[in-house]
């Protein structure tokens, strides 16, 4: 004789587990994809920031280019640039202070931008990029 209680409860349990799994699987996939997108976005930001700051560091270190106090190619101060506004929340207070008080000599400017690169390296480690 068939035990209908066991059959019904087994079918109900199977259906319930299937329904729960169908709700959890997309949520889990979304969480993984969200993590991947955030990682890719952060990696791209750091690549752009590092590239731009490295270029500025090269310009500051080039003795054939006249030294000006934190002036970029478009004649704006670095601390007034979009790049600085973008990275400022991630820089240490000492780095920001150094950038806002740049002097017109190569050594202090080179050191200030090296600190920016150092802060970006710290951020890469914190974000798990490297």
Residue 27 lies in a domain: no
pLDDT in tens, 28-53: 788 889 999 999 999 999 999 999 88
**What integer pLDDT is reported at residue 2 of this predicted model?**
63
Look up the domain containing 99 and give its range. 38-127
C-alpha–C-alpha distance, residues 100 and 112, integer Å: 10
Residue 2 lies in a domain: no
Question: Residue 34 has which token pair?
Answer: 């969200």
Helix, strand, or coil (residue 77): strand
pLDDT in tens, 79-124: 888 889 999 999 999 999 888 887 767 788 888 888 999 999 999 9
- Mean per-residue pLDDT for 51-65? 79
Give the pTM.
0.71
Residue 13 lies in a domain: no
Residue 43 lies in a domain: yes
C-alpha–C-alpha distance, residues 1 and 19, integer Å: 30
Residue 70 lies in a domain: yes
């Amino acid at each position: 004789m068939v035990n209908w209680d066991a059959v019904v409860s087994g079918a109900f349990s199977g259906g319930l587990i299937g329904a729960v799994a169908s709700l959890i699987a997309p949520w889990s996939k979304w969480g993984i994809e969200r993590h991947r997108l955030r990682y890719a976005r952060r990696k791209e930001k750091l690549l752009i920031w590092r590239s731009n700051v490295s270029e500025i560091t090269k310009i500051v270190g080039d003795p054939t280019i006249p030294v000006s106090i934190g002036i970029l190619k478009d004649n704006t101060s670095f601390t007034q640039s979009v790049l600085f506004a973008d990275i400022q929340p991630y820089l240490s207070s000492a780095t920001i202070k150094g950038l806002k008080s740049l002097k017109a000599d190569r050594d202090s400017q080179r050191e200030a931008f090296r600190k920016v690169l150092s802060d970006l390296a710290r951020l890469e480690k914190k974000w798990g990029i490297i």
